[in-house]
Structure 1
Amino acid sequence: MARLAEFFVGSPYLAMSLDQLGREQLRLDLTQFDCMLFVEQLLAMVSADSFVDFADRTRSLRYRNGEIGYCTRQHYFHDWVGSAQAQGVIESAPVWSAQATRNLPLNFMSSHRDRYPALQAPGLFDCIRAREQGRRIEQHYLPLASLEAALPSLQSGDIFAVATRVNGLDVSHMGVLVREGSRLDAIHAAPGRGVMRSRSFVRYLSSVPDAIGAVIVRPQMVQ
């Protein structure tokens, strides 16, 4: 994961990469990314033995039960991770030192319909709203104040997501951790910057607006 992430540093950013015009289809792009497309394709790529296998693994990660559709897409990091864990791609329920837990609603999409072009279609909006109606999740994360203590247990290839205080949303960004000796960096697809390496994960995370900490998950294949 870490070596692949480094290879793509410098690639351009494409906002809402999957929300292009037209019918929902399996979109693959190794030339430009938003943060989720970047991490998702890396995770699919590390264990694929062919392009067809890469496409199939991406589909399985992206869509509920592999069924391609806007309403079956894993729009929230919490759901994406749960699906990846069920498939054995990400380790189940990692516990980090000084981890905290919070209970929060997942309804950002239906509460901000104007930000999602696809939700202007009544059928898609009704489907998303029905899925989010009254939904709450339990999120395990490392608070900002606890990150330094947890750093020694984190390693290259771990996936991070920025836990946010924005109402109705679980995370606001994601990327891959890369260790350089005692220093831990973040490689991520950043708006206006493209795929970049932020030196010092703690310093980077502390600079993200509305961040309260980080959700860390570990791919199964990382040694």
Structure 2
Amino acid sequence: MKPAKLVILIFSLLTLPNGAKGGDIVSTPSDVRIYEAYIKQFEKQKDKPFGEILINTAKYFLGKPYVAYTLEIPDTERMVVNLREFDCTTFVENCIALSQVTKSGDFSYNNYLRTLMTMRYRDGEVAGYTSRLHYTSDWIYENEKHGLLRDISSETGGEKVKKDINFMTTHPQLYKHLKNNARNIEELDKIEKDISKRNAYEILPIAAIYNNQHKIRTGDIIVFATSVTGLDYSHIGIAYWQNKELHFIHASSSAKQVVIEKKTLPDYCKTSKSCTGITILRINQK
């Protein structure tokens, strides 16, 4: 698949709920068309429960390609809109944002952009590379703070785990905007230290998933903790009960597309080389 030609759209009047203003947004005409087609189909679902809209949205994108690093663009940080292909995080972010837009009844493209930006960036503002919420634990913290979701891991048998987060600054060569950029490394080092100090890392261990899975609902967000030193999580998906078994929908790097995972959630974690457990997030429904 050839990459679509990117078009930079500037929404200078885009104002976020907290008053922050959006910067340049990288999008393509194809993304706008996909959004419009989605809204045409989903605007009729406005009155359905949020969890149902979310899982229907996830299914809408089944078969879409998995592509890594879709948010990494040259030069200045801009918010990237890409509904053509996903990594695991952008898949979940877009499913939540699109579902929120559907539920709100404001089907404008600006509302979608505003919603996605608020979720992806600290304080909802694009202010350089380090304003993006790179670490999932930071993404959870910020989105829980402004009321999007709540971490229910402790309610499902989870336990607090202490872990120092520093993977990105100890491996700057792996990141385009950290390699040879001392300022970004310095700023991210402060962020990593703040994440580590919070000690808010709630994990349901692998051995406890099966006996507690009944507490997980379709539409909950499942985040997979990793044993990799300095890293909090390595994957994310959306819980989905199918034929009385708990699975999840995700953008799979192994399948190279968005899929309903064939393995059950407990089996997936058991057979993973690095998974140490899961964090369960529940979207707050308005």
TM-score bracket, shorter-length normalisation: over 0.9
Report the counterpart of residue 261 of structure 2 in structure 1: 198
Secondary structure of 1:39's aligned partner: helix
Confirm or deny that 1:61 pairs with 2:124: no
Report the counterpart of residue 76 of structure 2 in structure 1: 23
Report the counterpart of residue 130 of structure 1 in structure 2: 190
Q: Which has the higher helix share?
A: 2
Report the counterpart of residue 209 of structure 2 in structure 1: 147
**Gap runs ≥5 in structure 2:** 1-53
Return the letter of the residue paired with 2:223.
Answer: A
User: Between Structure 1 and Structure 2, how many residues are aligned?
Assistant: 222
* Aligned ranges 1:10-159 → 2 under 5 Å: 10-48=63-101, 49-50=106-107, 51-68=109-126, 69-91=128-150, 93=152, 95-120=154-179, 121-133=181-193, 136=196, 137-159=199-221
Return the letter of the residue paired with 1:206.
Answer: K
Change (3 A) 1:38 1:125: same
1:205 deviates by 2.0
Secondary structure of 2:268's aligned partner: helix
Change (3 A) 1:149 1:93: closer
TM-score normalised to structure 2 length: 0.73
Secondary structure of 1:195's aligned partner: strand
Higher relative contact order (CA 8 A, sep 6+): 1
CA distance in 2, matches of 1:159, 1:12: 20
CA distance in 2, matches of 1:124, 1:18: 16
1:20 deviates by 2.1
The range that moved more, 8-17 or 192-201, is 192-201
Return the letter of the residue paired with 1:164.
Answer: T
1:132 deviates by 2.3
TM-score normalised to structure 1 length: 0.93
Return the letter of the residue paired with 2:120.
Answer: R
Asked which structure has the greater CA Rg, the reply is 2
CA distance in 2, matches of 1:163, 1:130: 22
1:92 deviates by 5.3
CA distance in 1, matches of 2:75, 2:246: 40
1:116 deviates by 0.4
Return the letter of the residue paired with 2:234.
Answer: S
> Any idea what the Cα deviations from partners look like across 1:17-64, whole Å, max 9, x if unmatched?
211223111111111011111111111111113221111011111111
1:135 deviates by 5.1
CA distance in 1, matches of 2:188, 2:175: 11
CA distance in 2, matches of 1:100, 1:10: 35
> Any idea what the Cα deviations from partners look like across 1:101-147, whole Å, max 9, x if unmatched?
21011111001111101102222222212322475233111111000
1:96–1:150 Cα contact (<8 Å) kept: no
**Gap runs ≥5 in structure 1:** none
Q: Select 2:61's aligned residue among 8, 16, 33.
A: 8
Return the letter of the residue paired with 1:195.
Answer: V
